[in-house]
Amino acid sequence: MSTAELAERVGLSQSPCWRRLSRLKEEGYILEQTTRLNAEKLGLRTMVFAAVKLSAHGRANLNEFIDAVSRLPEVLEVHPTMGPFDFLLRVVTGGVEDYRELAFGRLLTLPTVQEINSTMSLGPAKMTSALPLRPR
């Protein structure tokens, strides 16, 4: 929404609202402002959650894996996890064939990857980046 729309919604004029937004950015509360694209219209119809188990767990191995998967544009999120797998990746591709190429051609060829357990999403029932903030 525009600054004018936000100002109206919170009951401020546009200038004080803009100053507050600027301050929130400077203090690190607002990390970035993005546009949410329609993945399906862009031909990205397949979302997969890939649970990855590494064969070695030293700090260098973890960092090497994070660096490698962070360079893959299909990997939207990388989460270190606790439990039977070491990382959970959220991946978006054009189709199952594209994901297969990513998994077998690039992920499984990384030196520390031991196993990948993939779960395909049937589509989001809810998808938001809004945090659950409560009014004060």
CATH number for the region 46-120 comes to 3.30.70.920
CA distance 57 to 59: 6
d(CA 129, CA 42): 20
SS3 state of residue 136: coil
Q: Taking the complete model, does pTM exceed 0.75, yes or no?
A: yes
Encode the chain (136 residues) as per-residue pLDDT tens digits: 888 998 998 999 999 999 999 999 999 999 988 888 999 999 999 999 999 999 988 888 899 999 999 999 999 999 999 999 999 999 999 999 999 999 999 999 999 999 999 999 999 999 988 889 888 7
Per-state percent for the chain, helix, strand, coil, to nearest 5: 35, 20, 45
Q: Is the dihedral of CA 98, 54, 66, 130 positive or negative?
A: positive
Domain residue ranges of the chain, discontinuous segments joined by + = 1-34, 46-120
What are the phi and psi torsion angles at 93 (to 5°)? -140, 175
Q: Distance of CA 95 to CAs 45, 100, 116, Å?
A: 6, 9, 18
